[in-house]
A and B are shown apart, each in its own frame.
Chain A
Amino acid sequence: MIRPSRSDHRVIGHPQRKIEGLAKSTGRAVYTDDITLPGMLHGKILRSPHPHAEIVSIDTTAAAALEGVHAVITGRDMPVQYGIIPWTPDEYPLCVNRVRYIGDGVAAVAALDEDTANRALGLIDVEYRELPAYLTPQEAAAATTDFIHEPKKPGHNGNVTKRVRLEFGDVDDGLDESELVVEGDYFFEGTTHTPIEPHCAIGLFEGDGKLTVWSATQVPHYLHRELARVLDLEGAKVRVVQPLVGGAFGGKSEPFDLEFCVAKLSMMTGRPVKILYTREEVFYAHRGRHPFHMRYRTGVDGEGKLKAVDAEILLDGGAYASFGLVTTYYAGQLLCAPYALPAYRFDSTRVYTNKPACGPKRGHGSVQPRFAFEVQMDKLAERVGMDPIEFRRLNFIGEDTRTINELRITSNGFLECLEAVERASDWKARFRQLPFGQGLGIAGSTYISGTNYPIYPNDMPQSGVQIQIDRSGRVAVFSGGSEIGQGCDSVVAYIAAEELGVPISHVRVLRGDTDFTPVDLGAYSSRVTFMLGNACIQAARELRAKVQSAVGEAWECPPDRVDLLGGLAVDTADPARSLPIAEAFNLAEARFGTLGATGSYNTPKDVHGEYRGGTIGASPAYSFTAHVAEVRVDVETGIVEVEKIWIAHDCGKALNPVLVEGQMEGSAYMGYAEALMEEQIFKDADHGRAGLHNAPSLLDYRIPTSLDTPAMESFIVESNDPEGPYGAKEAGEGPLHPSIPAIANAIYDAIGVRLDRLPFSPPNVWRRIREAEAGGGLTKPGAPSREVGVAP
């Protein structure tokens, strides 16, 4: 059901420009690497050539003596472990006594220029003692010696970073009672974010003991905390500035070695120091999609209703914990909608391997299981003889309900999403009816609108906004929101303009600086619009009420008769009576004093179960998505062409529909890329240097160009969430999920071959086709044999 929405908004819900669009289209936008400070030095980081080794000794004498070198540091200069998750700190800014992947940082240099810094790196002499390297999660899980990290308890395998086993309902009974159980093994290859802007940071330590770090980060607040902790500085003396960020997608959502190194090198030299990653280093920094090895057993009853789901998942974590604790939970926790699961069990294990650490990439931890599960759904629908869209409708969980793992679902527009893509793709006339080689596939998904709890436990708001009104009619919004291209600076401007009646061009968004913005926890988990938006509404409405009150007093009418819109204060009972908004603001300032207000947002606390881990996956609201993909498969070459993706997404309420469509298309594009092209993979001993990144460049790590990218058509579904700002939920990550299984299911519709391993690259697809031919030939699958709920 779709809740009604207010339709009298003047700004919200209408297409608007992005406020920084002008700066970006003229080249005047400032990203971190565009900043040059007087006397600035350039830093470089020496990286390990070994996947796993002990550092026996480091001699930096020759490097330090090189003309133009101002400082050299090693791990021993910052021997404090950190990690984005407070319970799993396991990395140092630079390795202290062990390296864990090819590319792990060992030492850093600050010099007059990059060339000198690079020459100095060549003069650092590191003696290593190589250790056995674990490159696959299976090897790592079976290891008995030379663990990548020290075991937490004696007798434990130090390569296991996290194991989560949770069961809701009785899965064994559910499977026993099922009419049909489909079992499948799936593999999701690792991929990386590949923002076009490489990571960059500048440190400036001043004589008064104040440290400023400019960084291309998604999480200035967490960076602020970790800089203070690792460098042993008072938090009050640390300032993080976040210039515009040139794309992130989760790849800049925790502290990185360069941020600590620029700070430390500036503390040692007294000069500003910049480090800009090379593209190669961006691939080593990674924190991208974990490779997942997954096994699913899914049972349905005679009517096609899901009975039980059993999942076993092995996560290839790379060398460090990163967000891995959360990933290990998300791998299971986020599967419990949009379908009702009467019984569900998952056993999820993350292991360390000697490769760059994996972390959160757009759709953190849930894109991989969603792929497997939606292919399982397709297999089940076929086996019970149902149209796969009908099969999904039959199993819809509903709105205002709880999932089997006790997550609270509020608004839910999934059925409308299914209907939109079904109609737009002409599904009923074409599914299973296109010629051999062409096919349609469906998939659905859900995603969180922000994690319900912050990364470190506290009761403070997740997001805050401060607004100040000037006598000129200008509104200044101090926002800690992290603008990474998604448009959160614009969203607070739209909200301020909506509530205070000023044109958007009279709103200044002052942002990205921990010295003057309230805390927002960062651009991750699709939390920003929901949380920052609610905080901004609160601040703006407090000021709106003051302006209405002051104008009402002057007009001798009740305040609620005063509306603020279009640069005016207007008497709604007598529209001929109005004041320019600046004069209205002046009345309010005369009446109440200087006009400023803060707003904050914190999450509801009763939206999850009370079991251990029950808070992970909890969110104040969930988005829902459905995609239909259309493909064409060349069985001679294994080339899959995705011709079109229809994307329907329930974002609650589109605060700016153009920005929402941009997120939907960008997400579907990224899912398509993972489905067909992308592989963050490493050489084994038979194919070069074991553990070496296969292709750390944009020439070899293939991401889609404008020619590869399919046509996309977006359908916004507005379920008007009761707690979202104006009803809004997330749009930045959810719409990635269904791309991949929808493409897999479309390939099956085209040629009758199941693809359970990513990516669907020509060699992989070609091999599966040859296997299928050897096993009996290729045929188009048959049409669904029955209607909903009719037993065969």
Chain B
Amino acid sequence: MQIAVTVNGRLHERSVEPRRLLCDFLRDDLGLTGTRVGCEHGACGSCTILVDGESARSCLMFAVQADGAELTTVEGLAPDGGLHPLQAAFREAHGLQCGFCTPGILMTMLPFLDENPDPDEAEIRTALSGNLCRCTGYQNIVKAVLIAAGVATNGESSQ
């Protein structure tokens, strides 16, 4: 089937099999491997992207369902090659260890912070609860989101 999707601001017109998963389309057809697949059934949240500005699991959508949509992947977070404040906060606050779940978490937190610019820890934990991280115990992830929201400062890393 022919689809037209805008990914990170660029229009892609492609022919895809009807049962092609959106995550596979992004990773394999467009080479956007920052979107990661951890469980294939919507449980881990690693493959989270934005579909028309809302967080969505790209392993639970077919590529054809994204026809006409505007998608944002982690590669589109800071298109100028710099760092989005959220990315900078994760890097600063050690909100990542193995890093595999990180892009999905960033793409979940992005619309959350848009809607809740001044969140408390409990709200962050609730918004984060659909994304599994196996390394960190979540503590530094929550801290990174607080930093990104300007609620907390880190100021620890010297280099």
Contact = CB atoms under 8 A, between A and B. Distances in A.
Interface in B101-158: 101-103, 106, 124-126, 128-142, 156-158
Interface string A506-544: 000000000000000000000000000000000000000
B56 interface: no
A28 B34 contact: yes
A505 B130 CA distance: 35
B28 A247 contact: no
B140 A698 contact: no
A34 interface: yes
A17 B156 CA distance: 9
A196 B101 contact: yes
Contact of B126 (A11, A34, A244, A707): A707
Interface in B33-50: 33-44, 46
Contact of A244 (B99, B106, B135): B99
B25 interface: no
Range of interface residues on B (Cβ < 8 Å): 35 or more
B96 A25 contact: yes
B97 A666 contact: yes
B8 to A, nearest CB: 11
A16 B154 CA distance: 12
Contact of B137 (A30, A198, A665, A697): A665
A24 B97 CA distance: 9
Nearest to B35: A27
B132 A669 contact: no
B100 A246 contact: yes
A313 B151 CA distance: 51
Contacts of B159: 11, 16-17, 503-505
A698 B39 contact: yes
Contacts of A772: none
A706 B129 contact: yes
Interface in A170-192: none
B38 A14 contact: no
Contact of B39 (A34, A279, A706, A707): A279
Interface stretch (A375-383, A484-492, A550-558, A612-620): A484-492
Contacts of B128: 705-706
A662 interface: yes
B58 interface: no
B83 interface: yes
Nearest to A28: B34
A11 B129 CA distance: 35
Contact of A26 (B37, B40, B83, B134): B83
Given A16-B159, A29-B99, A658-B156, A703 B40 contact: no
A25 B98 contact: no
A716 to B, nearest CB: 14
A278 B40 contact: yes
B28 A662 contact: no
Given A668-B137, A697-B39, A658 B94 contact: yes
Contacts of B75: 26-28
Given A707-B126, A712-B139, A249 B94 contact: no
B5 interface: no
B77 interface: yes
A487 B43 CA distance: 27
| For the complex of A and B, 6 pairs with smallest distance between CB atoms | A27-B34, A485-B98, A24-B99, A246-B100, A669-B137, A27-B74
Interface of A: 11, 14-18, 20-31, 33-34, 36, 193-198, 244-249, 278-279, 484-487, 503-505, 658-659, 662, 665-666, 668-670, 697-699, 703, 705-707, 709, 711-712
